[in-house]
A and B are shown apart, each in its own frame.
Chain A
Amino acid sequence: MKRKQILATVAMLAAGAGLAACSDGGGGGGGSDASNCTNTITKKDLPAVTMWGWYPNMQLVVDNFNKLNDEVQVCWTNVGQGGDEYDKFQTAISAGTGAPDVIMIEADRIPTFQIQGALVDIKQYGFDAVKANYSEGAWKDVSVGDAVYGVPVDGGPMGMIYRKDIFDKYKITPPKTWAEYEQAAQKVKDAGGPLFGDLGANVPAVMMALQIQKGATPFAFDPAQPNSIGVKLNDQASKDVLDYWGGLVKKGLVGTQNQFTPEYISGVINGNYATYISAAWAPGYLTGAGVGKGQDTGKFAVAPLPQWDPANPVQVNWGGSAFSVTKQSKKPELAAKAAYGLYADKESLTDGWTNQIIFPLNLTALKDPAFIDLKVAFFDGQQANKEVYVPAADAYKGVQYAPFGQYYLDAMEKQVSEVIKGSITGSQAADRIQEDVAKYAKEQGFTVQ
């Protein structure tokens, strides 16, 4: 339990001290040291900026950038995906040293780091030249107020992935509304079919997106008044969506398996779930996890996300990242150049979307007919971008994320778990989340409205 860990920690600290002693002579240290890159920099006379990121094709993206650029070179390290990287960045912020110049961050985390003063407003460094390359919604997701804290790379417009074989067998068509979704689920269940979907407690970001779809505005934040924040997590829309999913669980229409687990993936392959409410990057992720390669080849298709009010459809987003410049960077201007240029050249973008690693937000790719008309192999040749994801991305309006997003998502996860257990209703969960997060916001010194 803890003893071995303590020993390991002591050993690690000792080794770390040794390493630190060695690198003292080398100048710099931690993330700001450009002498220890995963990629090879050929233009050695140019200044270099350090960068952390975890896109699967990062090596290629960095090489492309360095090849095309004659002002600055990027020195890239992968320090972990998502939470692992944020933990390291957070530690570097607290320590005041060790952060890289440029960092890949998911859009919903930007306010968390911005409020700590860890990111640079890059509007002053050539924003106008690239402004037209991205949609307004894409910029809104990486902005706090008027200031821009990142360059968007990819997004996650949401859709409903479904199993054609199951839909055919039970003679159902893709539901257009959430009411139809429930009816279809009931129909499949009555006929002895599999679960219709899944409510995973560990994907609170999906629940947040679905609440926003119904009109919830969880956070209102004006950077001109950084001391006050609007927290509205138990309004009627939020409660309705939680109640809706709680109801589906109670009726046994959807599963409660945590997602991104081997357990869930094996269920997807086995056809235990008729639908998977997910984002545009899901095919790439699922393919990587081994879905759609064996008995389930060519059985998947995608339809637009069901709506609450089909007359006024609302599109939402899950995931997607950006490149930000850190406050600890000693070369913010060069770093901003790298942030603007990385993953923005055609070759990198094409590699990204053909391999379904990213759903690009750069309009040169988003408007590229080859991208729009792509027949996605995972969906058995369906033109998924044209039919579902591009319209969803175009209609996406952007969201104001919270400066304490991690706490909010943790609170959501905790209460969704309770809903899954059946110990509370969705409405009660919403009230508890509100109480919990508002209390935290007050503790952190905000005036909560």
Chain B
Amino acid sequence: MTVLTEQREPRTQPETRKIRGKVHLREHLMGWFFVGPFGIVFLAFLIAPLGYALYLSLFQKKLIGGTSFVLFDNYVKAFTDPSFLSGAWFVIRFSLVSIPVQIALALAMALILDAVTTLFARFSRLMIFLPYAIPTVIGAVMWGFLYSKGFGPLTDIFGLFGTTAPDFLGSNLIFYGLLNVVTWQWAGYYMIILYSALQGIDPTLYEAARMDGAGRWQIATRIKIPLIAPALILILVFSLIGTLQFFNEPQILRYLAAGTIGTDFTPNMYAYQQAFGLANFNYGSAISFALGGVVFICVYAFLFFTRKRRSFL
């Protein structure tokens, strides 16, 4: 806005201070008017709850002895709490595996769909995107039933070959069970983002590349991927934040695989259990902020290592 104002005021044409002040004031008010609705919602529903949670996390409430101010004791406890640490370690491991898998799949699909322009490609695009339109809860329930040993199809399919089906809800394979659910749900969404980024590339670049003798593979790896790098980094950051806050899928599958998935399976589930199951809002808030810290560190580290290509932040 300041840039615009300066441009509109040619220095050669003198104006009185009064008029300039009035224009400033009016523009100022207009600005606040436009920002206002967002500002109120932002303050009331993001900043205020965050502030309150931070405030809560500095106290400790005991069944005997009541509430007392403890400063950072809850955080010290969180970062030495095996439940929190194992949950955090799980989501970090899960991110390291699931994000590359999802992004690679999404990128491959986007590149194929970008290169093929048949009716079938449009149909496939819709189908690949479809899982994202299904609510995560429904998706998790559905996969839970598919994995089920009692009446899922896996038992029958593996039975045909005379072997027993793998138990994706068991403690050994739950990691891959969840990996599959998450990939199924999100790869299509990331594909759409990458696909629209690909659509935004100027086609004359391809022409030029072809003139220079580049094949399809070279166009994909040397032109398309570098040009959509900002979109790639964007979805990487999105998926990193989302995965570190893993909650819905394990929370739903818990009912089908309780015992495998405990209440402290991921940090978010642990925070939920502390706050609402055990009435410990203070420690729950502290875990949430501790998780926020972990997310911040991970995202910062990621952006630091990819800083050359960063253009959206």
Interface, chain A (partner B; CB < 8 A): 1-5, 10, 13-14, 83, 87, 90-91, 93-94, 115-116, 200-202, 226-227, 256, 258, 261-264, 266-267, 270, 403-404, 406-407, 410, 413-414, 416-417, 420-421, 443-446
Contacts and interface: CB of A to CB of B under 8 A. Distances in A.
Contact of B247 (A2, A10, A420): A2
Contact of B136 (A1, A87, A407, A420): A1
Given A3-B242, A413-B259, A420-B259, 11 more contacts: A1-B248, A2-B268, A13-B45, A14-B41, A87-B276, A87-B277, A115-B64, A202-B258, A202-B259, A413-B258, A417-B171
**Among B182, B186, B278, which residue has the most Cβ atoms of chain A within 10 A?**
B278
A417 B256 CA distance: 14
B245 A266 contact: no
Interface of B: 41, 45, 62-65, 135-136, 145, 148-151, 171, 182, 186, 238, 241-243, 245-249, 255-260, 262-263, 268, 273, 276-279, 281
Contacts of A267: 150
A417 B242 contact: no
B281 A263 contact: no
Contacts of B256: 258, 261-263
B177 to A, nearest CB: 14
A13 B44 CA distance: 10
B258 A227 contact: no
B277 A116 contact: no
User: What 5 pairs across the A-B complex have the smallest Cβ distances?
Assistant: A201-B259, A445-B64, A202-B258, A445-B62, A2-B245
Contact of A5 (B150, B243, B247, B263): B247
27 contacts: A1-B247, A2-B241, A2-B246, A2-B248, A5-B136, A10-B45, A14-B45, A83-B277, A93-B279, A94-B279, A115-B64, A116-B279, A201-B258, A258-B257, A263-B150, A266-B151, A407-B278, A410-B263, A413-B258, A414-B262, A417-B171, A417-B262, A421-B171, A444-B63, A445-B63, A445-B64, A446-B64
A334 to B, nearest CB: 27
B17 to A, nearest CB: 44
Nearest to B283: A443
A200 B259 contact: yes
A445 B65 contact: yes
Contacts of B249: 1
Contacts of A410: 262-263, 273, 277
Contacts of B248: 1-2, 5
A270 B41 CA distance: 55
Contacts of A87: 276-277
B63 A403 contact: yes
B242 A2 contact: yes
Given A13-B45, A262-B148, A263-B148, A416 B259 contact: yes
A407 B62 CA distance: 14
A290 B290 CA distance: 45
Contacts of A115: 63-64
A13 B45 CA distance: 8
Nearest to B261: A417
Contact of B64 (A200, A226, A264): A226
Contacts of A5: 136, 247-248
Contacts of A226: 64
A4 B259 contact: no
Contacts of A403: 63
B139 to A, nearest CB: 11
A1 B243 contact: yes
A10 B42 CA distance: 10
A446 B238 CA distance: 44
Contacts of A446: 63-64
A419 to B, nearest CB: 10
A249 B163 CA distance: 22
Nearest to A91: B276
Contacts of B243: 1
A116 B63 contact: yes
A90 B136 CA distance: 27
Nearest to A3: B242
A116 B260 CA distance: 32
Nearest to B83: A414
